[in-house]
Amino acid sequence: MVSERYKIIKYLGGGMSSVYLASDIILDREVVVKLIKVDHHDRDKSKARFQREVESTIQLSHPNIVSVLDVDESDEYHLLVTEVVRGPTLKEYIRDNHPIPLDEAVRIAVMVLQGIRHAHQAGIIHRDIKPQNILLDEQHRVKITDFGIAKALSETRMTETNQVMGSVQYISPEQAKGRQTDERTDIYSFGIVLFELLSGRLPFEGETPVSVALKHISEPMPDILEYREVPQGLVNIILKCTEKDPYDRYRHTDDVIRAIGEYRDNDTPYTLAAEKDDENTLVTAAVQPAEAGIPSGEEAGQEKKPKGGRMFLLWLIPLLLLLSAGGVLASAFWPERTVAMPDFEDSAMEEAERILDENNLVKGEVTEEYDDSIEAEHIISTSPSSGTEIEEGTAVDLVMSLGEEPYVMEDFTGENYDDVSNDINSLGFSAVNIEEQYDESDPGTILSQSIEPEDEVHPGEATLTLTVSQGLEPVEVVDYTGEPYETAHEQLTSQGFNVETSNELYNEDVPEGHIISQSPNYGDFLPGSTIQMVVSRGQEPGEKQYVQSITIPYLKEKASSGEETEEEPSEEESSESGKGDSEEDSSEEDSKPEPQTVEIFIEDKDNDISTVADSFEMTEEREYNIDLTIEEGGTASYKVVIDGETEIEEEIPY
């Protein structure tokens, strides 16, 4: 656990620091934790240096720069927490996908430049631009990382250092020499990255870092056309980005972005500044007059005068040439006055008018055109063109720049940001900010834009803010366990949830119609999600044991055996001989009652009325108990059939 908040998951690697994938236990999200060891020999300066880096990192908020989420420090480490970017480094992407299609390579290059430009506008240089520090997320958007090692330039706009900070394969000559660096240092490294992006290989390689650094300082860039066919415009951009002298490179990333946007129209091979200097040196040497320096040879003694014959020839030959060409003698002595047409390109109109006046020339027709590379109210071109010999008093037509042609803003509302992000990024806005908000629209839908459609704008000077839908806002689900189902159903459906009854069960503790359980029963969920309920049927119905006591009558008459005697026989009479006894027994048998058949039918939980529950014979009235099992809310019944006739029938309620 780091800083009592970040639980380390695994080690990712690191250069100037140790980098880990971690879990933010407070916000429940994955982050990248960068631990920078404190310099114990100079603790105070180390902390101050880290503080400057942190300040420079926090102010960078751009779609093409990895976001910093948190900072902290301890006695042992400085802590920098950033977002997780799931995707390969540009180094890995080049390795796995070479050759990369030109359009894709240009798209990646522009996004890299937009991220660098945002940092430069904040006064920060990266000084370690390389494919290993450029990530591609799952939507193939560029994210530049490791701006944490950059230093703020708010005071000097330049940094002097004796330490080489960049990786040697992408290091600028001034870094390799330990000299001061500025925005053009990042532009050099970008040029090396662009070379590798297009060719799949590095321009300079060697056995040691020192040998590679020396090549950056002294050797010309190899010809990329030896490795891949690339439009001349892109070749030119690489060569200008990687000029040895920073002052010969593009000054700002905006210049590089503009050049990439026009690379298809730039098919004239680029001439390196060193080659231009060599050409100028040769021309100067060829026309240098002898007296411009210290005389040599015989001239070091005394000046020699030409002889008379030689002087004559020097005058005669030009004169004969004039005459042989049909020239008039007078014109040789009084020629028309001409001037060389001045070069007005990129001069302000006021300056051009002054130069015209000094050269006895007249301002002719002035037309206006948009030009991305020439400042407004400066001269784009002239007619006649510069260098042309023209007579004094000639009218010179001027084409004046209106500056960068404004872009007529498109309407991106209603579009999915992922579908149009490449088009938006290619417009070259100084920054494109994304603000998300919950909305009924599909996630990613552009809801509004800070620049209205049809507005004219110069993207390089403007920031575009897009409001993008996050989809429906998650709603907190309340646990309705124990609450009435109708209440839960009404409230949840009003929030946009679907409510289903997954089961109905008897429950001893939860009243009928109330909720036994709910799934899910907590958390935030999108409207339209289904909430399932188990609803109580109340207590399970009970059984009632009931005993119905009845008297079954004897319906048959007893048979008669003569007149009955009212008096009891005396003991003497009862003790008569056996003959008399036997006659009495016979008489008793003749007087026994006739049996009747009884059937009992029961309708309850356990019996069906159509089936005989009990049967027997009887010769006299008797008491009988009927056992009944009655379900809650139900009834039971019985009937007594004697000799086939229903004599008793009754229904018993619960």
Predicted confidence (pLDDT) at residue 287 exceeds the cutoff of 50: no
Higher pLDDT, 650 or 267: 650
The whole-angstrom separation of Cα 522 and Cα 271 is 69
3-state per-residue secondary structure call for 133-185: HEEECCCCCEEECCHHHCCECCCCCCECCCCCCCCHHHCCHHHHCCCCECHHH
Predicted confidence (pLDDT) at residue 289 exceeds the cutoff of 50: no
- Asked, for residue 255, whether it belongs to a domain, the answer is yes
Instruction: Report the share of the chain in percent with pLDDT over 90.
Output: 49
Both 65 and 134 in a single domain?
A: no
The reported pLDDT for the residue numbered 33 is 92
pLDDT confidence of 517, banded at 50, 70, 90?
very high
Average pLDDT over residues 629-653: 92
Half-sphere exposure of 548 (CA within 13 A, CB side): 25
Domain with 17 in it: 6-82
pTM of the model: 0.44
Higher pLDDT, 93 or 302: 93
pLDDT confidence of 634, banded at 50, 70, 90?
confident
Measured from the Cβ of residue 112, the count of other Cβ atoms closer than 10 Å reads 25
Both 147 and 96 in a single domain?
A: yes
Q: What is the pLDDT of residues 106-119, one digit of tens each?
A: 999 999 999 999 99
Average pLDDT over residues 577-602: 70
Both 521 and 550 in a single domain?
A: no
Both 170 and 235 in a single domain?
A: yes
The DSSP call for residue 306 is P
Least confident of 24-38, 116-130, 301-315, 480-494: 301-315
The reported pLDDT for the residue numbered 113 is 97
Give the CATH number for residue 69. 3.30.200.20
- Closest listed residue to residue 261, CA positions, set 454, 429, 22, 56: 429
Both 348 and 433 in a single domain?
A: no
- Closest listed residue to residue 548, CA positions, set 417, 451, 443, 650: 650
Predicted confidence (pLDDT) at residue 308 exceeds the cutoff of 90: no
Give the CATH number for residue 625. 2.60.40.2560
The reported pLDDT for the residue numbered 20 is 92
Predicted confidence (pLDDT) at residue 152 exceeds the cutoff of 50: no
Least confident of 4-13, 220-229, 303-312, 331-340: 303-312
The whole-angstrom separation of Cα 130 and Cα 194 is 10
- Structure tokens that stand for 284 in this block: 């100067």
Predicted confidence (pLDDT) at residue 80 exceeds the cutoff of 50: yes
Average pLDDT over residues 636-641: 96
Do residues 647 and 600 lie in contact, with contact meaning Cβ atoms separated by under 8 Å? no
Both 348 and 244 in a single domain?
A: no
Both 528 and 484 in a single domain?
A: yes
pLDDT confidence of 42, banded at 50, 70, 90?
low
pLDDT confidence of 166, banded at 50, 70, 90?
very low
Least confident of 135-144, 190-199, 280-289: 280-289
- Asked, for residue 568, whether it belongs to a domain, the answer is no
Do residues 124 and 152 lie in contact, with contact meaning Cβ atoms separated by under 8 Å? yes
pLDDT confidence of 294, banded at 50, 70, 90?
very low
pLDDT confidence of 404, banded at 50, 70, 90?
confident
Do residues 501 and 517 lie in contact, with contact meaning Cβ atoms separated by under 8 Å? no
CA triplet 468, 472, 476: central angle to 5 degrees? 135
The reported pLDDT for the residue numbered 159 is 38
What is the per-residue DSSP string for 67-116? PEEEEEE-SSEEEEEE----S-BHHHHHHHHPSPPHHHHHHHHHHHHHHH
Average pLDDT over residues 324-352: 63
Q: Tell me, yes or no, if 128 is annotated catalytic.
A: yes
Least confident of 309-313, 438-442, 488-492: 309-313
The reported pLDDT for the residue numbered 107 is 95
* Mean predicted lDDT score pLDDT of the chain: 82
The reported pLDDT for the residue numbered 318 is 41
The reported pLDDT for the residue numbered 47 is 72
The reported pLDDT for the residue numbered 54 is 66
Both 102 and 160 in a single domain?
A: yes
Considering 55, 82, 109, which residue would you say is the last residue of a domain? Answer: 82
Look at residue 299 and give its three-state secondary structure.
helix
- Asked, for residue 291, whether it belongs to a domain, the answer is no
- Asked, for residue 579, whether it belongs to a domain, the answer is no
Give the CATH number for residue 492. 3.30.10.20
CA triplet 5, 44, 180: central angle to 5 degrees? 105
Domains of the chain: total: 6
The reported pLDDT for the residue numbered 249 is 96
Considering 443, 469, 495, which residue would you say is the last residue of a domain? Answer: 469
The reported pLDDT for the residue numbered 301 is 36
The reported pLDDT for the residue numbered 74 is 79
- Closest listed residue to residue 340, CA positions, set 415, 392, 414, 282: 392
Tell me which of 72, 128, 146, 509 is the catalytic residue: 128
Both 107 and 254 in a single domain?
A: yes
Both 244 and 391 in a single domain?
A: no
Least confident of 68-72, 423-427, 587-591: 587-591
Average pLDDT over residues 421-445: 91
The reported pLDDT for the residue numbered 526 is 87
- Asked, for residue 491, whether it belongs to a domain, the answer is yes
Considering 379, 401, 423, which residue would you say is the last residue of a domain? Answer: 401
The reported pLDDT for the residue numbered 335 is 45
Least confident of 232-236, 303-307, 361-365, 491-495: 303-307
The reported pLDDT for the residue numbered 455 is 92
Residues contacting 612, CB < 8 A, separation 6+: 599, 600, 601
Both 431 and 488 in a single domain?
A: no
Least confident of 286-290, 357-361, 620-624, 629-633: 286-290
Predicted confidence (pLDDT) at residue 313 exceeds the cutoff of 80: no
- Asked, for residue 325, whether it belongs to a domain, the answer is no
Beta bridge partners of 637: 603, 651
Both 16 and 68 in a single domain?
A: yes
What is the per-residue DSSP string for 358-379? HTT-EEEEEEEE--SSS-TTBE
Give the CATH number for residue 165. 1.10.510.10
The whole-angstrom separation of Cα 386 and Cα 401 is 17
Predicted confidence (pLDDT) at residue 577 exceeds the cutoff of 60: no
The reported pLDDT for the residue numbered 394 is 84
* Neighbour-count burial of 231, counting CB atoms closer than 10 A to its CB (0-12 exposed, 13-18 middle, 19+ buried): middle
- Asked, for residue 458, whether it belongs to a domain, the answer is yes
Q: Where are the beta strands (DSSP E) in 554-634?
A: 596-603, 612-618, 622-631
- Asked, for residue 283, whether it belongs to a domain, the answer is no
